[in-house]
Structure 1
Amino acid sequence: MKRRLLDIYDALLLDLDGTVYRGGQAVPGAAETVQAARENGTAVRFVTNNASRSPEDVAEHLTSLGVAAEPSEVSTSAQAAGTVLAERLQPGDEVLVVGTDALADIVSAAGLRPVRSFTDTVKAVVQGLSRELAYRDLAEATLAIRAGALWVACNMDATLPTERGELPGNGSLVAAVRAATGQEPVVAGKPARPLMDEAITSANAGSPLVVGDRLDTDIAGAVTAEVDALLVLSGVTTPADLLAAPAWLRPRYVATSIGDVCGPAAGLEIAAQRTWEVDRTDHQLTARWTGNGPPVDELALLRALCAAHRPIDGGEIKVRAEDDTTRAALVALGIARTAVP
């Protein structure tokens, strides 16, 4: 019997938006994958940079979408920020909270005292996204940081995906405080290590697998934590993005969606493929179909292209298709704009 990814790793560290759900709907196969992991004895952790909601709220939201979740299975950047603060401060120290009440609750749970205004007794600032954030909040944070307070940012996500489109994320608001203070925060969320370490420790995992849809947070976070990753193409990252990514930012595996975790691991790795041949020169990849008939696996072509093209700094490369099957596969992958006859 072919081994599943689920059988190789002892924990799944699952990103949320774009991986487990999209907008108000679960990604097809997400609920079944989480259930299969539990039945297999594989730990599940929902790992999110979202610092505005409590673990209880996150678990409730997932359950409402049909993906069963417990608060203890949720790891947020706010929790990671709380751990960072607790490690660097004394019990009872005042922390200026720039964010939601849920973030303030986490500060309290860490044995610290959350406040909303700067005084000379404030020892740290913790900054997470809140849609009710005002100028006053950023001003209070600026005063504290300029006075020498430790500054911890829950995450550096520049944008927040919504049904209306991309809106400013916590990273954009952190940038405003950075401009006003000339300081850099300690970052808790992906791709920084604290959140990944928190999730791995919580799951008691020795060999976890990160599953996510973003190269800059999920896959980079796996690289930082030195664990394997599966990139799913159900969210932000496109095949063209992956092909253009630098070699260090490549995951070990790439698949259509989270449901592939329950499928055979063989064939999901970025490596040479049996049904596609790819030759590389300095400025071009040449690909050809070597299979005997349908079905044509376009993702296998993507894996073969990525295995052949491993740039140090990243960047697009032209792809030459030697046959109609390969040309059609490139179109299906959305990288036809780089293809040449």
Structure 2
Amino acid sequence: MSDDLVGGYDLVIFDLDGVVYLIDEPIAGAVEAVGKLRDRKTPVAYATNNASRRAADVAAKLTGMGVPAEPAEVLTSAGASATVLAEKLPAGSPVLVVGADALRDEVREAGLTPVESADDEPAAVVQGYGPDVGWRVLTEAALAVRAGALWVATNTDRTLPSPRGPLPGNGSLVAVVRTALDRDPDVVVGKPGPALFTTAASQSHARHPLAVGDRLDTDIQGAVAAGLDSLLVLTGVSGPADLLAADESSRPTYVASDLSGLFGPADEVRVPLEADEAGGWRLTRDGDTAKLDGSGDPVVALRLLCAATWSGVPLSGLQATSDAARALLERWNL
């Protein structure tokens, strides 16, 4: 077993959007990181809240990017949602599908009947992300749920990461129906629920998996709920300010700028960093204030500051006493 971070785990469960790729382009270093795990025979899995592709399509997309993947290694919220519906409904039951063709195909393969209108008296509505979801189908969903249909959401991610910045995600579309009905979905299947993580671990017979994600409110919170260690990478949605403000339910075990953090010593990415000085930075705490001085790796500073904010210092109490520290806090909008 290696003495780096990943050497302490028998499975790495990756989120995809914001971790391995952004839309259709791999994130710098991701291909090399997964390749290194493959060379070391470290099992990997991919757990994604994105319901717009089936497992085989996701595996093909990854392979086309230079990240070899098998469909059995991919768990999607679309497939998991179809499984949940099949467990709750009689075979052949009509289900109104809001989302992409992938979700419709998963519902059909689960032995249920996809429909498009509330007039078809669906037993359930399943809602997942799709780039073409519009007012008409959201209206049908609201009518069906109001008439008594079970409402299942594949996930509630408010945004999707992209090279142009965060884009509306399924959570934003769910919010449209939630506003119209003044109620929440009956079931939310994907992260931050633990099911995708626990299923991945079970399929790989893993005893000590590591979850890797870019979102505190889904990836990391889901890992915490599943009882798994987690690594937050700063290549997607959640940034330093979000991490500093995170509550206990969404705090990762480790934080790194990108997937290269998997291959360094665990103690160099563990968060929080309980110290007065590290890596050229100095942290001085006085009651409800914490002063950052010096210069160095921004992630080291972030880990030091988490020790302060996670133990009671408000974000407004963070102060900079060096040019490098001031530039860093300004960049983090603090």
Let me know the Cα RMSD of the aligned residues: 2.6
Given the superposition, is the C-alpha separation of residues 269 and 122 from structure 1 closer, same or farther in structure 2, using an over 3 Å criterion? same
1:321, distance to aligned residue in structure 2 (A): 4.2
The amino acid that maps onto 2:269 is: L
Give unmatched runs, 5+ long, in structure 2: none
| Structure 1 equivalent of residue 22 of structure 2 | 22
Contact 1:279/1:285 (<8 A) preserved: yes
Map 1:292-303 → 2, pairs under 5 A: 296-303=296-303
After superposition, give the CA deviation of every residue in 1:209-238 in whole Å (9 maximum; x if it has no partner): 111111122112212222111111122222
| Structure 1 equivalent of residue 246 of structure 2 | 245
Aligned-partner Cα distance in 2 for 1:247–1:119: 45
Contact 1:128/1:170 (<8 A) preserved: yes
Given the superposition, is the C-alpha separation of residues 95 and 26 from structure 1 closer, same or farther in structure 2, using an over 3 Å criterion? same
| Structure 2 equivalent of residue 278 of structure 1 | 283
Aligned-partner Cα distance in 2 for 1:158–1:64: 28
1:298, distance to aligned residue in structure 2 (A): 3.1
**In the comparison of the two structures, how many residue pairs are matched?**
329
| Structure 1 equivalent of residue 123 of structure 2 | 123
TM-score by length of 1: 0.86
Moved over 6 A (4+): none
| Structure 1 equivalent of residue 223 of structure 2 | 222
| Structure 2 equivalent of residue 67 of structure 1 | 67
Map 1:188-199 → 2, pairs under 5 A: 188-199=189-200
Contact 2:18/2:161 (<8 A) preserved: no
After superposition, give the CA deviation of every residue in 1:187-220 in whole Å (9 maximum; x if it has no partner): 1122123333333333332221111111122112
3-state SS of the aligned residue for 1:317?
A: helix
Give unmatched runs, 5+ long, in structure 1: 290-294
1:104, distance to aligned residue in structure 2 (A): 1.1
3-state SS of the aligned residue for 2:13?
A: strand
| More displaced stretch, 225-234 vs 21-30 | 21-30
| Structure 2 equivalent of residue 319 of structure 1 | 318
The amino acid that maps onto 1:86 is: A
1:137, distance to aligned residue in structure 2 (A): 1.3
Aligned-partner Cα distance in 2 for 1:266–1:244: 22
Given the superposition, is the C-alpha separation of residues 22 and 268 from structure 1 closer, same or farther in structure 2, using an over 3 Å criterion? same
| Identical-residue share of aligned pairs (%) | 49
The amino acid that maps onto 1:281 is: D
1:154, distance to aligned residue in structure 2 (A): 0.8
Aligned-partner Cα distance in 2 for 1:143–1:283: 51
3-state SS of the aligned residue for 2:91?
A: coil
Given the superposition, is the C-alpha separation of residues 132 and 297 from structure 1 closer, same or farther in structure 2, using an over 3 Å criterion? closer
Contact 1:245/1:315 (<8 A) preserved: no
Aligned-partner Cα distance in 2 for 1:337–1:143: 42
After superposition, give the CA deviation of every residue in 1:229-275 in whole Å (9 maximum; x if it has no partner): 11111222222322232344221101110122122222210122462
